[in-house]
Amino acid sequence: MSETRDLRSMFANCRWYATKDRKQYGFPNSIAIVPPSTLVIVAWKSKEGDDFSLSKAAVDYAIAVQDDRKATARAYVVLAKGEQNGEKEFVKQLTLNRVRDIIKGHAPIKGNFGPFWWLSENETVAGHVEPL
């Protein structure tokens, strides 16, 4: 499926909902689903820096969903800010395949909620990274 979905208004669109068990799917990320075939990992901006936390668990889940549904599933990562104050703001969207290219060759950082990467808005792995 080559068509790209425009997700800029996803936080205002009432058809979107976030999954309930965020810990299972990579807290602090959110997984949003719009029926029937779009899955979105919401990677929230750091409280203290300019980068966005992307959990390995969320990426693994999205890959499994996309692989399971083959051409019927579209998966994206949305970089967003404002989770802490409730003012959710879209920053940028990337396809899951683009994110896989970005993180390829970079080991995730060990974190309190599991392994994760810091992504920058300019589509690079940020922060302390160790090559694989």
Q: Establish if 104 belongs to a structural domain.
A: yes
Please state, in angstroms and rounded to a whole number, the distance separating the CA atoms of residues 108 and 116: 5
pLDDT of residue 1: 45
> In this structure, what DSSP letter does residue 70 have?
G
pLDDT of residue 10: 82
Q: Establish if 12 belongs to a structural domain.
A: no
In contact, 41 and 8? CB cutoff 8 Å: no
pLDDT digits (tens, 9 = 90+) for 101-129: 999 999 999 988 889 999 999 999 986 55
Q: Establish if 56 belongs to a structural domain.
A: yes
Q: Establish if 21 belongs to a structural domain.
A: yes
Q: Establish if 64 belongs to a structural domain.
A: yes
Q: Establish if 52 belongs to a structural domain.
A: yes
pLDDT higher for 30 or 85?
A: 30
36: containing domain: 17-122
pLDDT digits (tens, 9 = 90+) for 3-52: 678 888 888 775 565 555 666 666 777 877 766 678 889 999 988 889 99
Number of structural domains in the chain: 1
Which of 108, 113, 115, 110 shows the shortest CA–CA distance to 125?
Answer: 108
Q: How many CB atoms lie within 10 A of CB 114?
A: 15
Q: Establish if 7 belongs to a structural domain.
A: no
Q: Establish if 94 belongs to a structural domain.
A: yes
pLDDT of residue 123: 94
